[in-house]
């Protein structure tokens, strides 16, 4: 099995998620070659062949041009699988490449089970297992699902790509999203509310605990979707990525999209009524309790110190 890994860079910087592609290929011992539209100054640490196209020439975002570059490398390397991150870049490019290669495409792969690709469905409440029957497969990987593995090492053997690859889209630049209210990335303590809080009134007890600890409160996506908390408080793949000293997850099950946004926290406490909730695998301490009882008591104790 040979994989072509499509690494990503943004604003001249290699994205760490590129290493998840390597971790994915390593789970089934595949051969790897990599392609990157990026910069010579910011190469992935990788023992293998890297096809590099200069982002200055080909544009950081130019699906037509990038597709052509990937297809040129695919023609040369004949990979069985082309692997993208499930990012705005990957989910835009992957179907274009799959169509051109007449390959099966599986989006947002979160795992491998018995050789099948595992994909979350129904807001990650179920997992679908699929396998492809075409000669080639194009996949996108869910952020955080495969991790970065061991500390990346190695020096790639670089082959510069010089194809004539114009496109119909001109990338004009980025417009940073406004971070309204709080920047969770700067908080040393975050107490987050999950669906387990049950109703919007209970956000106040999460906010109180965060305040008592001198921190900020965050939320999982269902809490934000229900408009119980503002979007800038969402933690996870479609929210903020945080790494505070202390992260307290209250009524949060530990879906991979949430974990991707907080698992680098120094110390994680989870409060959950379910002792088998997946967050328990990531937490340093799992408190099996009803948050409606536990959180106000803890706040009271901290305030009394
Ligand atoms: C493309 C995509 C992107 C996504 N991005 C994000 C993202 O950025 N961030 C994010 O969070 N999610 C994201 N999700 C959603 C994610 O898959 C999960 O659905 C979500 O994280 C679940 O939120 P939750 O843990 O709050 O709720 P649930 O999974 O419903 O978990 C609730 C938990 O509360 C516990 N509980 C219930 N009552 C109590 C109580 N009284 N006391 C204590 N515990 C209690 C339950 O045991 C359970 O473990 C995304 C999904 C998709 C498909």
Query: For the residues of the chain, what is the DSSP string, one character each?
Result: -EEEEE--EETTEE-TTHHHHHHHHHHTT-EEEEEEEE-TTS----SSEEEEEEHHHH-SS-HHHHHHHHHHHHHHH--SEEEEESSHHHHHHHHHHHHHHT-EEEEEE-EEETTEEEEEETTTTEEEEE---SS-EEEEE-TTSS---SPP----EEEE-------S-------PPP--S--GGG-SEEEEE-GGG-SGGGHHHHHHHHHHTT-EEEE-HHHHHTTSS-GGGBBSTTSB----SEEEEES----HHHHHHHTT-SEEEEEES-TT-THHHH-SEEEES-HHHHHHHHHHHHHH-
Whether the per-residue pLDDT at 149 is higher than 90: the answer is no
**Residue 215 tokens, joined:** 């921190």
Q: Return the ligand 1 atom nearest residue 108 CA.
A: 1
Nearest CA to ligand 1 atom 26: 194
Is the C-beta atom of 286 inside 6 A of ligand 1? no
Between the CA of 236 and the centroid of ligand 1 the distance, in Å, is 10
pLDDT level of residue 56 (50, 70, 90 thresholds): confident
Tens digit of each residue's pLDDT (9 = 90 or more) over 2-37? 999 999 998 889 998 899 999 999 999 999 999 999
Is the C-beta atom of 283 inside 6 A of ligand 1? no
Q: For ligand 1, pick from 251, 279, 286 the residue to mutate: most ligand atoms within 8 Å of CB.
A: 251
- Residue-level pLDDT at 164: 73
Is the C-beta atom of 225 inside 6 A of ligand 1? no
Is the C-beta atom of 15 inside 6 A of ligand 1? no
- CA–CA separation, 296 vs 92, rounded Å? 45
Tens digit of each residue's pLDDT (9 = 90 or more) over 154-174? 899 999 998 776 778 888 888
Global model pTM greater than 0.75? no
Q: What percent of the chain has pLDDT over 70?
A: 96
Tens digit of each residue's pLDDT (9 = 90 or more) over 58-67? 888 889 999 9
């Amino acid at each position: 099995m040979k994989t072509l890994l499509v690494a990503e860079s943004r604003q001249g910087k290699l994205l760490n998620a590129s290493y998840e592609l390597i971790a994915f290929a390593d789970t089934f011992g595949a051969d790897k070659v990599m392609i990157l539209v990026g910069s010579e100054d910011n190469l992935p640490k990788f023992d293998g062949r890297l096809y590099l196209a200069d982002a200055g020439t080909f544009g950081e975002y130019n699906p037509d041009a990038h597709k052509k570059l990937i297809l040129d490398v695919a023609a040369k390397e004949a990979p069985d699988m082309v692997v993208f991150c499930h990012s705005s870049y990957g989910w835009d490019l992957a179907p274009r490449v799959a169509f051109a290669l007449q390959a099966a495409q599986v989006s947002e792969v979160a795992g491998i089970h018995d050789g099948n690709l595992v994909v979350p469905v129904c807001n990650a409440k179920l997992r679908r297992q699929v396998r492809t029957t075409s000669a080639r497969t194009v996949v996108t990987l869910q952020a955080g699902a495969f991790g970065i593995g061991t500390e990346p090492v190695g020096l790639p053997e670089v082959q510069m790509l010089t194809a004539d690859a114009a496109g119909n889209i001109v990338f004009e630049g980025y417009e940073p999203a406004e971070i309204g209210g709080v920047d969770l990335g700067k908080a040393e303590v975050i107490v987050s509310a999950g669906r387990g809080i049950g109703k919007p009134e209970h956000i106040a007890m999460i906010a109180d605990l965060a305040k008592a600890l001198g921190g900020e409160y965050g939320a999982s996506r269902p809490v934000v979707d229900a408009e119980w908390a503002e979007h800038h408080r969402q933690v996870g793949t479609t929210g903020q990525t945080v790494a505070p000293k202390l992260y307290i997850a209250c009524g949060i099950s530990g879906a991979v999209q949430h974990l991707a946004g907080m698992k680098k926290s120094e110390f994680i406490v989870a409060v959950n009524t379910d002792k088998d909730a997946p967050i328990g695998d990531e937490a340093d301490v799992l408190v099996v309790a009803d948050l409606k009882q536990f959180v106000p008591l803890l706040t009271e104790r901290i305030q009394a110190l």
